[in-house]
Structure 1
Amino acid sequence: MGSSDAAPTVRAVIFDYGGVLTTPTRESIQAWLAEDGIRPETFSAALKEWLSRKAPQGTPVHKLETGEITPAEFNETLAARLRTHDGSPVDPTDLLGKLFARMRPDPAMLDLVSQLRGSCVRTALLSNSWGNNYPWEDLDGLFEFAVISSEVALRKPDPRIYRLALERLGLAAQQTAFVDDGAPNIEAAQQLGMRAVLHTDPADTRAQLAELLPAGTVPQEENR
């Protein structure tokens, strides 16, 4: 810090959506599994096969995120992999809607983005979409633009989707910070030279961004 080798000043922060600007996705999933009586291991097995680091390209999750299949098609595919505790099949109707039903915007994170904007830090949204209906009324005015995977036919951690966001910002990777709750997505950003923050909770993300941005840019969180 403070030497001639200091990293370039971060001028923009790119945020993920689900699990970063919202309550934890896992909490919504756990509540859905419990309420519908679905065996958690059947969901976990499908997710591991389709979304783990070792998953092959072109899994149903990948195709959903890039818009190659519709949410309704994904619902059918996922439902076929699930079973209830009594062994019954799972109704595919609005399965994704139920999965995300309890996920809510996190006021502390929305406040953080708003404060960054007020301090003239540029902000953007970069999200892998699972057919989500984003609450744009809550996000209005917080971001210069949004890069949504299904709209650009690319998904994190493909480096091309990060480069697309950087091109729209007109900044070098070293001038941006990226906030995500997924380690593979963070690692991909770091490999491009972006300053990455693995989100675990609002206070920690606020503290990490305060280390990356110019002094005074990130106000301390108010005691509530």
Structure 2
Amino acid sequence: MTLRGLITDWGGVLTTPLRDAIGAWIQADDIDNDGYRTVMREWFQNAYAGDGVVSPVHGLEDGTLPVAEFERRLAERLRTRGGAAVAAEGLLTRMFAAFEPVEPMYEVLRKARAAGIRTCLLSNSWGNSYPRELFAELFDGVVISGEVGLRKPDPEIFQHALELLDLPPQDCAFIDDIEHNVRAAERLGIVGVHHVDADGTAARLEELLGVSLR
């Protein structure tokens, strides 16, 4: 199999893992970890339920819920380990402050594109600050959920990415650290790559794209 297109998530693929960033934020802001995990479990289950239930995560990602309102709702549900309130303003900035770029994955994109592979970013945004100054170098297309009013795992957002690449689904691979999103892409005929670490993902992509990426 030799594919011609590569679609990639951002947070947790081109950055250090989400769990690491969240762990650093919980420690820095002295957040009660059990309380945080309880609310996130509830909100994420609803966001991926597919039964018409809309959670704050869903609204944040597709742009229908403003960042400030999401921060207010989340802060309302959180407490510090000492029981104090959590500041809402800037909550998401603090939450993702420990995100760091994963250079081997950036190198994968550069080498793939140099070999003629068309590339696209497909990211569910949480009000993140993206390295937009690198987009022209790395991507032929960029799809950020809150900017297009769609979110993964909705089929329409994958279709939008495919249209930007001007490629059929069977000619493209999709990388994500959330398995639910990978399976959604596969249902459309896209080749899914569940990202766990840079080396494993690069090795799998070398098989799929037929080029050296490391």
Please state which band the TM-score falls in when normalised by the shorter chain: over 0.9
Which of 58, 62, 67 pairs up with 2:58? 62
Q: Does the alignment pair 1:17 with 2:10? A: yes
Which of 83, 103, 106 pairs up with 1:110? 106
Shift of 1:42: 1.2
Supply the distance in 2 between the matched residues of 1:80 and 1:24 (Cα, whole angstroms): 26
Supply the distance in 2 between the matched residues of 1:139 and 1:30 (Cα, whole angstroms): 28
Cα-Cα RMSD: 1.3
Which residue matches 1:35? 28
Which of 166, 190, 204 pairs up with 1:208? 204
* Matching residue's letter, 2:5: A
User: Could you tell me the TM-score, scaled by structure 1's length?
Assistant: 0.90
Q: Does the alignment pair 1:91 with 2:83? A: no
Residues paired across the two proteins, number: 211
Larger radius of gyration: 1
Shift of 1:45: 1.1
Shift of 1:139: 3.6
Which of 63, 72, 75 pairs up with 2:68? 72
Q: Does the alignment pair 1:192 with 2:188? A: yes
User: Could you tell me the TM-score, scaled by structure 2's length?
Assistant: 0.95
Supply the distance in 1 between the matched residues of 2:49 and 2:111 (Cα, whole angstroms): 38
Supply the distance in 1 between the matched residues of 2:127 and 2:136 (Cα, whole angstroms): 19
Supply the distance in 1 between the matched residues of 2:39 and 2:145 (Cα, whole angstroms): 21
Supply the distance in 1 between the matched residues of 2:39 and 2:125 (Cα, whole angstroms): 18
Which residue matches 1:178? 174
Q: Which runs of 5+ in 2 are unaligned?
A: none
Shift of 1:140: 3.5
Supply the distance in 1 between the matched residues of 2:148 and 2:134 (Cα, whole angstroms): 23
Aligned-residue sequence identity (percent) comes to: 45
Q: Does the alignment pair 1:144 with 2:140? A: yes
